[in-house]
Structure 1
C-alpha cells in the first residue's frame, strides 16, 4: 500500500490537473470532494453549469467530467498513486459521476497511458487557428486510436470524401446554432469580450480564434454573429485531418468513458506536437449526430469530431482555482 498521505499540495496539484481538462464552452461543470478516510476523490456534476439548449440531456457535461477524471488519473499516477475509478457508483445519487480511490504504488510498466502525459495537461490548449498541410504520420494515427481504445472508445480517421461529408454536416449544425435565438443567447453568455474580464470560466475573446475565409471548416462562432467584433477570417488547411470518436453504447457511463478517451487522445496528440480543435456542433442536434455516425464499416454512437494538425498553439482559457471546485 502507499505509505505517504495525500498531502494538501498533492491534492491541489491533482485538482489543478482535473480542472485543466476541456469542457463545452469552458463551463467546467464539475465539483470534487475528498474522502480522507478512504483516500478517494468524489467527482460530481455541477448542473448549474450545464447548457439547457445545447446540451439538454447532459451528454456533453458527462464528456467534460470524463476528461477531468482522466486528468485526475494521470496526476495520481504522476504522484505515485494507483487510481481505481468507479463510474456512476451510486445509482440513487445521479450527481456522483465518478469515485476515484488512490491506492497502492503506481507501476509505470502497467499504466494504461504514456508516462509523459502529466506535463501535457498544462500544454494542451484548443487551437481554433489554421493548421499546416503537414500530414499526420501513420504511427501517430495508430497511437491516437490505441489511446481511445484503451478507454473503451473508437477513434476513426476519415478519408477525403468522408471528411468532406462530415464537414458539410458540421456546417449545417453551425448554421442552425447561429440562427437559433435561444442557443445564440446561451452561447454569448460564455464569451468574455472585455480583455480585462477576470472571469474564471467561459471563453475570452482572444481564444475565439478565426473564421475560415474559404468556409472549408465550420469553426464555431461563439458570438453567434450578434456583435460587431466579428472573428477575423483566414484561409484554413485545404485537407483537414478529422477523426471521429465513437462508443459502442449510449449510456451515461459511455459518455464518461468517451470524455476520458477524448482527453487521452488530446494529451497524446500534444505529446507529438499536434494541435486540436473540437467540432462539437453536430453532436448538439440529434438528427445530425445520427448522420455523423453513418460511416462505412462503422457502427456506434458519435461523441466528438476532432480536427488535428500542426499549427499555432491556442491561447489558454481561464480555469477555476482548486479551492473553488470543492
Structure 2
C-alpha cells in the first residue's frame, strides 16, 4: 500500500515558502496560492494588483515569475516525497488561474532530478555584481541547456556577433527607459530606500549592486535617475556570458513553461557555483524583443536574457509573509 508524506498545514506552508523564493519582475511577487485539504490540490493564481502595465502590458513577465514559483513548488514537493501532477491554465475562462498542482498522485513518477535541486532554492539570489572572466565549461553549459529543455524551452548561449547585437539592444532599451517618465515612475514604485521601513517586496538599495563604470556586462540599474549616496562603482566583465531562453510559441502557457525552465536553469546553475542576473530591458519593448532572436535560426520567441558566470551570489531580497499569499481551505 502506497503511503503519502505528511501534508498538514505546516507542511503546506513550507512548500509555499519555498515557492515564493522565486525571482519575479522587480521582485513584485505577483502570485497567490490556494490549497484544498480535501483534494490535496494547490492552485496558483496571478495577482494583477502587482502587474506593471507599462513595462509588462501583456503580463508576459508576470507569468514568467509565476512559472518560476511553480517550479520551486514542484521541487519542494518532490524533495518532500510528493508525487505531483501539474496542469497549466486549468480553467480557460479564468485566465488569472495559472496552474493546479495535485499532490500525492499515485501513478505519477517522483521527479528525483528536480528534488535534487531543492537545496538551491534558498541559495539562489540575483547578483548585480561583477563576475570574473572565467568561462563556464561546455559540460555545464550542456547541462543547463538540458534543464531548460526538460521544461519545454530552449536555452542558447550567445556567441559573437549575436551577443554584441543583443548588448546593443540592451543599451537601446536602457535609453528608452531613461526617457520614459511613466516607466521610471513604475520602476521607482518597486525600489526601496535603505532608510525606509523594509516591506516584503521590491528591490531594496542594498541589492542594487555597484554602479557600473566599465565593462560590457548588462546589469539593470534600479537606481534609475536618482543617485544613491555612498554607492560603490565597479568594472564589470568585458565578455559577459549571456544566454537566451526561448519558446516555440508565445502565449500564456508558453510563458509559464518559460518561467519553469528559467528557474530550473537557475537552480542548477546555483548548485554548480554560478551566479546569475537578468537582462529584461529589451524584452519590455516589443520592437526590440523581436530583434533579440538568433539571426541564424530566426525561430522562437525570446522570453529571457540571462547573464551567468562566476562571482558573488547576490544578497537575499525580501519576501512577503506566507500568510499574505496562501489560503488553505477544507
Both proteins in one fold, TM over 0.5: yes
Q: Secondary structure at the match of 1:225?
A: coil
TM-score normalised over the length of structure 1: 0.95
Q: Residue in 2 aligned with 1:44?
A: 45
- Say yes or no: does 1:307 pair with 2:303: no
Q: Residue in 2 aligned with 1:102?
A: 103
> How is 1:149-188 mapped onto 2 (pairs within 5 angstroms)?
149-188=149-188
> How is 1:257-276 mapped onto 2 (pairs within 5 angstroms)?
257-276=257-276
Q: Secondary structure at the match of 1:290?
A: helix
Q: 1:113, 1:166 → 2: CA distance?
A: 32
The CA RMSD over aligned residues, in Å, is 1.7
**Residues 192, 161 of structure 1: alpha-carbon distance in 2 compared, 3 angstrom cutoff:** same
Kept in 1: contact 2:211–2:234 (CA 8 A): yes
Q: Secondary structure at the match of 1:33?
A: strand
> How is 1:251-262 mapped onto 2 (pairs within 5 angstroms)?
251-262=251-262
Q: 2:93, 2:55 → 1: CA distance?
A: 26
Q: Secondary structure at the match of 1:113?
A: helix
Q: Residue in 2 aligned with 1:205?
A: 205
Q: 2:3, 2:74 → 1: CA distance?
A: 16
Q: 1:69, 1:164 → 2: CA distance?
A: 33
Q: Residue in 1 aligned with 2:282?
A: 282
Q: Secondary structure at the match of 1:160?
A: coil
Q: 2:236, 2:92 → 1: CA distance?
A: 46
Q: 1:33, 1:114 → 2: CA distance?
A: 23
**Residues 2, 279 of structure 1: alpha-carbon distance in 2 compared, 3 angstrom cutoff:** farther
Aligned length: 325
Kept in 1: contact 2:44–2:99 (CA 8 A): yes
Kept in 2: contact 1:54–1:284 (CA 8 A): yes
Unaligned runs of 5+ in 2: none
**Higher alpha-carbon deviation: 206-215 or 229-238:** 229-238
Q: Residue deviations 1:200-237, cap 9 Å, x none?
A: 00011000112321252332122221345485321111
- Say yes or no: does 1:322 pair with 2:319: no
Q: 1:188, 1:218 → 2: CA distance?
A: 20
Kept in 1: contact 2:75–2:114 (CA 8 A): no
**Residues 95, 261 of structure 1: alpha-carbon distance in 2 compared, 3 angstrom cutoff:** same
> How is 1:225-236 mapped onto 2 (pairs within 5 angstroms)?
225-229=225-229, 232-236=232-236
Q: 2:112, 2:180 → 1: CA distance?
A: 42
Q: 2:218, 2:225 → 1: CA distance?
A: 14
Q: Secondary structure at the match of 2:33?
A: strand
Kept in 2: contact 1:113–1:147 (CA 8 A): no
Q: Residue in 2 aligned with 1:24?
A: 25
Q: 1:230, 1:174 → 2: CA distance?
A: 23
**Residues 174, 35 of structure 1: alpha-carbon distance in 2 compared, 3 angstrom cutoff:** same
How far does residue 9 in structure 1 lie from its aligned partner after superposition?
2.0
TM-score normalised over the length of structure 2: 0.94
Kept in 2: contact 1:278–1:305 (CA 8 A): yes
Kept in 2: contact 1:245–1:258 (CA 8 A): yes
Q: Residue in 2 aligned with 1:131?
A: 131
Kept in 2: contact 1:21–1:67 (CA 8 A): yes
Q: 2:147, 2:16 → 1: CA distance?
A: 23
Q: 1:200, 1:284 → 2: CA distance?
A: 25
